[in-house]
Amino acid sequence: DCNFSYRSSIFRSTESGHYAILSVTLQFQKTPLQPPFYDSLQKRFDQNNITNFTPQIIRENVLAIRADKLPNPSTTPNAGSFFKNPIIEAWKVDDIRSNGYSDLPTYPVDETYMKIPAGWLIEQCDLKGEILHGIRIHDKNAVVLINQSATGYEDLKNAKDQIISAVSEKFQIILEQEPLELVPPTQIPTL
């Protein structure tokens, strides 16, 4: 019913802005899943010679990967990945690589489009580890923004805008915010 897929659902498309999700109950298959898995999970399985892909083993390894890449939000205030990985046309990837960025990592989407890591773009703008308007760009994963000393939404908005502007200026790519913003109840339009 919700059309869940990787970072997508009806709550990001046809029903965007209509609901706030307070809890979720999911039912998973119990049979082992088959590789290949996403890149960092597959690498972890290969390095540790894991060949039994039960949901429990997959869960444990996904949590371990996330713990290594993302700060714990209960001790370090953050919302996880703040920017989506942009999907751009393959010719644009070639253009970026020919301008001195031959190490640009990419993931094919189809014959025409490639996904590139937003964190890599932010790193190339020398923003990794920087503090902008009280928001620190995580030193391990540049798509994670941490509230270091920000005092309100305006600080977050200004930091976000500065990051988007830096990436746009350098690569002509507009980063898109990942987390949805909730509108205060006083600003919800009446029908």
Is residue 81 flagged as an active site residue?
yes
Locate 96 and state its tokens.
């970026």
Query: Burial code of 2-35, b = ≥16 C-beta within 10 A, e = fewer?
Result: eeeeeeeeebeeeeeeeeeeeeeeeeeeeeeeee
Is residue 178 flagged as an active site residue?
yes
The DSSP H or E segment spanning 158 is helix 153-171
Measured between alpha carbons, how far is 153 from 122 in angstroms, rounded to an integer? 21
7, 59, 66, 97: the catalytic one is 7
66, 81, 111, 136: the catalytic one is 81
The DSSP H or E segment spanning 28 is none
Give the sheet arrangement for strand 131-132, strand by strand. Answer: 78-81, 144-147, 135-137, 131-132
40, 123, 168, 178: the catalytic one is 178
Measured between alpha carbons, how far is 77 from 75 in angstroms, rounded to an integer? 6
Catalytic residues: 7, 81, 178
